[in-house]
Amino acid sequence: MASLVLKNRRTTLERGEKFTSEQYFTRANLRGRLFGPSCPVESLSYFLTPLRTSYEKAVKEEFKPVKVGASFGPTWWTSWFRVMVTIPTAWKGEEVHFVWESDGEALVWRNSIPVQGLTKEGEKISYILTEKLTDEDPHSLELYVELACNGLFGAGQGSMISPPDPNRSFTVHRAELVVFNRAVHELLIDFEILSDMAKLLGTDNQRSYQALYTANKMVNVCDVEDPSTFAKARRLAADFFQQQNGASQHTVHAMGHCHIDTAWLWPFEETIRKCARSWASALRLMEKNPNFIFACSQAQQLQWVKCWYPVLYTQLKEYAEKGQFVTVGGTWVEMDGNLPSGESMVRQFLQGQRFFQQEFGKYCCEFWLPDTFGYSAQLPQIMQGCGVTRFLTQKLSWNLVNEFPHHTFFWEGIDGSRVLTHFPPGNSYGLHGKVAELLDTVKNNKDKGRVNDSVFLFGFGDGGGGPTQNMLDRLQRLQNTDGLPRVKQSSPETFFSILEADTTMLCTWVGELFLELHNGTYTSQAKIKKGNRKCECILRSIEVVCSLASVQKDSFEYPSAQLQHLWRLLLLNQFHDVLPGSCIQSVVEDAMKFYEEIQSRGNELLKEAIQCLLGGSVQETGKNINVLNTLSWERTEVISMPRLEGDEVLALVKVPSVGFATVTNPLVPSHPVIVTSQGDGSVLMENGILKVVFDSLGRLTSVTHLLYKRETIPEGCHGNQFVLFDDIPLYWDAWDVMDYHLETRKPISELLKPLEIVCPGGVRGSVRHSIRISDTSKIRQEIILDACCPYIKFKTEVEWHETHKFLKVEFPTTVRSLNATYEIQFGHLQRPTHQNTSWDWARFEVWGHKWADLSEHGFGVALLNDCKYGYSVHRNVMTLSLLRAPKAPDATADMGHHQFTYALMPHAGSFQEANVIQFAYNINYPLHIVPAEPSVSASCFWSAFSIQSPAIILETIKQKPSLPSMPEYRSTWVSSFLGLQHGLDVGQGPALGSGESCQQLVEPLALGDGKLEVAGVDACLVLGCFDGSQARALAST
Ligand SMILES: [Zn+2]
């Protein structure tokens, strides 16, 4: 027996490490025995194409011989390889792998089926041809390898997020057959875990020494030349791993996952292939490991795979039946959590849940959004309304300033809806099953003592192909090993059910989950933001008009399929690297094409529906004009009417709620706008509501609210002051604006064209001016004050060619308030205007939708816009963020011409009393002007319905979706999602159960109550509940 020696910790540790090192002593150590003999492939030939071609097409092409070591490109091309292999008969009984190592992302096809994704960065370089070669196995095989000429993270030049280098080439480094020694692999995993435990549990932990000495004994018994000794070493390890924890140990629920960004540093089309590669790899693991559970989100990605890889999709469904492939999330894509409208978020769930139900037979119970840049305080209600009561994310671990205080908690939205929320404490959605990560999961957990279970998401994301066998082998050993948390392979359902069994100790977080990072994403890629807002508005208008047309005219066919297609395009663009503007140029180009399709096809649908609704009288020009309003309140506005003579004329018109008016005689304003040029180049405009003075630079020097007799601009200050900031983040260029940018504020005050009067008054007063930002950038603005209108509108055009600059516009006010209010989905929330605590100042740049408001008792100022999302209100200054100029990942981001409109609305009373919400909708939903035949009844004034309470905004009117199993309701039922914006005098009633509203969103279920009369036809309501009160709508014809 060898004499025992007093062991030196360091040398003992390093002895084990050298025994398994990939770098040192590989001729004598265990690692060097992982692979046995190898042989080259029989033949290799290739076909290169700029297209992402189907397998069927590709294999018919002409393939040319090529050798390992050759390179292929340029970036985004595809090289298909035909690989002939012959397995030597001498390898009988061995496990044989086809090894493929390249810089690109590869997919192996065998017998016309995608079988394995191979991406070096995802630790996947081999496809298992056989686990034990028999004489009966085919020895000669034909494989195809589809090599995408891009890396896991695209092809960034220099750094990951740099714009792609279009001229990169990708090399095939290895293509061969090799014998894989499974027994050596198993021992290597044992050693790795023991070594990690020895190192990481620390010198004051006896389990650390037990691991260390076990590993050392294993080295002693293991003769690398004699595989018969391996079993003894494995037994030593197994004995160690089987020493169990006490009953109180934390349980980690491991779920395989592969977070695939639907477009980011690569185009949408490449994502389809990333899905195929990743899920083919996951299937191989599911076959081999019956306990392995893989969670997969985003209906759109599954829909793509269904279309492009039907065989793969069928296999996925088989594993879904077995409970191993688990669909999660419930949404169409993992969308941005801030900027989509309330209705868009509902549609994300509607389209997603319907897909999961139809294809996988179940709705998702948990919202899954691990990687989005903040979460709206309205999401809990939307989730509950869609039958989702659980939420998983981890992104707040990226907070730059404050550490979020929980990992498991109830998240409560603005109406009081609560969802059970979990942040996996490993603070990642791409773990590897390592000892260090398991220890971190336990250590980081902020709810120790309250919760004893957590989620552990493992697998390479974004084309890394998800989990690996190594990860599963690690987790398999650690099911219950003293010193480490227990590990279970669980589904989200299992995990959340355990949490739900006892929630008595959980804390509640109220309001938004604000990410203290990536705050530039409210502004970057302004055209994507504008496309989103415009398309949300047009789709709403189409659905309103089509619904009215279908109840008015039996002959009208509601364009359900086309609307679903257009909605899905919009939902796709709301993906969390597209709408935030953090994607490469080619993705932006694709996104703009989707918006163009929505707008052009949408406008056709709208025109057809209007024609049907108003009768055949619609003309290009006409003597009479029909004005259509899709919003649920009466509007009196100035419009531009086309005349038979070919020109246009301004007219003040009144249009009823959700209806139209035929304009024969425009209204005469009781107080026309008066425009006065003053001697010093300034201009005064007044409309009986506001009196406004502009200087020659178009800046407001005075805004007086005439009814309240209140000045809005502080003495010596300027409203509509453009300001430019240096905007150089630490790394994430398109994503981040840092707090220090505020120290570089430069007012823009160089005149190009002084203020001049355009409209001299009457129904409209307007002025225009132009100012210089730099040699290459300038602003042109028309400032409008209409009769009867309580706000000043700034129609703005910017020519923008800057580098790392941030353009904003400021409105200093005379209002003092501790909080400003911002519109969010179906509601609003308040954020502080001061910087008392780190939580306050971390919100130096925030998001909102169509309006923000700063009010004190009885008076306030609102800032409205038609396509912007970034705001800041600090003390008394309201600022709207306009344009950024990041250079990565899109070097051309935001360069060029921009058009947008914002408005300033001083008001008496609260913003609710002043109808700020309604005026912000008006700016976003211009009245539709429809020329009519003179024969149209002289002064038609038709309203489908109106709503008594100003607290209610009718968000959506649409036809119920008809499913095959349900009776056909077309032309008889109209369903609505109704946003109740604040709880004024709305009747209280029993709350809608979440099940009811879930079904309402997903199925054509007729609710018995909450009926609304629509032109004599019943329609159903689903109520959004806001600001703390569950309520039912009061509606009238
Ligand atoms: Zn992501």
- Residue identified by tokens 């492009």 is 308
- Label residue 183 by pLDDT band (50, 70, 90): very high
Residue range 485-535, pLDDT digits in tens: 999 999 999 999 999 999 999 999 999 999 999 999 999 999 999 999 999
CA distance 525 to 579: 8
Lowest-confidence range among 405-419, 695-709, 811-825, 963-977? Answer: 963-977
- The contacts of residue 65 (CB under 8 Å, 6+ apart) are 43, 44, 45
3-class DSSP state for residue 747?
strand
* pLDDT score recorded for residue 934: 60
* pLDDT score recorded for residue 1022: 36
Lowest-confidence range among 155-159, 288-292, 746-750, 778-782? Answer: 155-159
Instruction: Note if 371 is an active site residue.
Output: yes
**Any idea what DSSP says for residue 220?**
H
Amino acid type, 745: R
The full DSSP string for 312-349 is HHHHHHHHHHTTSEEE---SSS-B-SSSS-HHHHHHHH
For the cut 80, the answer to whether the pLDDT of residue 933 exceeds it is: no
Establish whether the linkage from the previous residue to 405 is cis, with ω within 30° of 0: no
Q: What is the mean pLDDT of residues 900-912?
A: 97
Residue range 798-854, pLDDT digits in tens: 999 999 999 999 999 999 999 999 999 999 999 999 999 999 999 999 999 999 999
Residue range 763-777, pLDDT digits in tens: 999 999 999 999 999
For the cut 50, the answer to whether the pLDDT of residue 1013 exceeds it is: no
* pLDDT score recorded for residue 1021: 37
**Any idea what DSSP says for residue 280?**
H
* pLDDT score recorded for residue 427: 93
CA of 562 to the centre of ligand 1 (A): 29
CA distances from 785 to 230, 391, 636, 679 (A): 86, 46, 14, 21
* pLDDT score recorded for residue 1005: 27
CA of 207 to the centre of ligand 1 (A): 38
CA of 47 to the centre of ligand 1 (A): 32
> Two tokens at 871?
């705001």
Lowest-confidence range among 183-192, 459-468, 882-891? Answer: 459-468
CA of 746 to the centre of ligand 1 (A): 35
- Label residue 652 by pLDDT band (50, 70, 90): very high
CA of 462 to the centre of ligand 1 (A): 8
For the cut 80, the answer to whether the pLDDT of residue 932 exceeds it is: no
> Two tokens at 794?
């700034």
* pLDDT score recorded for residue 962: 55
- Nearest-5° angle of CA 729, CA 337, CA 393? 90
Q: Describe the crossing of helices 230-241 and 206-221 by its angle, rounded to 10 degrees.
A: 170
Element (H, E) at 831: strand 827-832
3-class DSSP state for residue 199?
helix
> Two tokens at 98?
């086809």
Closest of 727, 746, 742 to residue 887, by C-alpha = 727
The full DSSP string for 117-150 is EE-GGGT--EEEEESS--TTS-SEEEEEEEEESS
Output the pTM of the full model: 0.93
* pLDDT score recorded for residue 896: 98
CA distance 527 to 593: 12
CA of 431 to the centre of ligand 1 (A): 15
CA of 576 to the centre of ligand 1 (A): 6
Closest of 470, 456, 387, 394 to residue 196, by C-alpha = 470
**Any idea what DSSP says for residue 682?**
-
Chain centre to alpha carbon of residue 674: 47
Residue range 201-220, pLDDT digits in tens: 999 999 999 999 999 999 99
Instruction: Determine if residue 37 is left, alpha or beta; phi over 0 gives left, psi from -120 to 50 gives alpha, anything else beta.
Output: beta
Q: What is the mean pLDDT of residues 406-422?
A: 97
* pLDDT score recorded for residue 643: 80
CA of 575 to the centre of ligand 1 (A): 9
**Any idea what DSSP says for residue 397?**
G
3-class DSSP state for residue 455?
strand
Mean pLDDT across the chain: 91
Catalytic residue among 371, 440, 453, 736: 371
CA of 300 to the centre of ligand 1 (A): 14
- Label residue 1031 by pLDDT band (50, 70, 90): very low
Residue range 721-746, pLDDT digits in tens: 999 999 999 999 999 999 999 999 99
Residue range 161-171, pLDDT digits in tens: 999 999 999 99
* pLDDT score recorded for residue 973: 28
The full DSSP string for 768-820 is EEEEESSSS-EEEEEEEEETT-SSEEEEEEEEE--SSEEEEEEEE-S---SEE
> Two tokens at 453?
């279970």
CA of 260 to the centre of ligand 1 (A): 7
Q: Where are the beta strands (DSSP E) in 588-736?
A: 624-629, 635-642, 648-655, 659-663, 673-677, 683-686, 690-694, 700-705, 710-711, 721-726
CA distances from 798 to 532, 746, 771, 795 (A): 19, 17, 10, 10
CA of 337 to the centre of ligand 1 (A): 12
What are the backbone dihedrals phi and psi of residue 780, each rounded to the nearest 5 degrees, phi first?
-120, 135
* pLDDT score recorded for residue 961: 66
Percentage of residues in the chain having pLDDT higher than 70: 91
- Label residue 788 by pLDDT band (50, 70, 90): very high
Residue range 942-997, pLDDT digits in tens: 898 888 888 888 889 888 765 433 322 222 223 333 333 322 222 222 222 223 33
- The contacts of residue 595 (CB under 8 Å, 6+ apart) are 528, 531, 532, 534, 535, 569, 570, 573
CA of 261 to the centre of ligand 1 (A): 5
Contact 627, 613 (CB under 8 A): no
Q: What is the mean pLDDT of residues 3-7?
A: 69
Residue range 88-121, pLDDT digits in tens: 999 999 999 999 999 999 999 999 999 999 999 9
> Two tokens at 521?
């994403």
- Label residue 6 by pLDDT band (50, 70, 90): confident
Contact 902, 808 (CB under 8 A): no
CA distances from 157 to 123, 163, 329, 730 (A): 22, 6, 34, 18
- Nearest-5° angle of CA 832, CA 835, CA 836? 100
* pLDDT score recorded for residue 940: 83
Pairing state between β 294-296 and 325-327 = parallel
Percentage of residues in the chain having pLDDT higher than 90: 85
CA of 627 to the centre of ligand 1 (A): 44
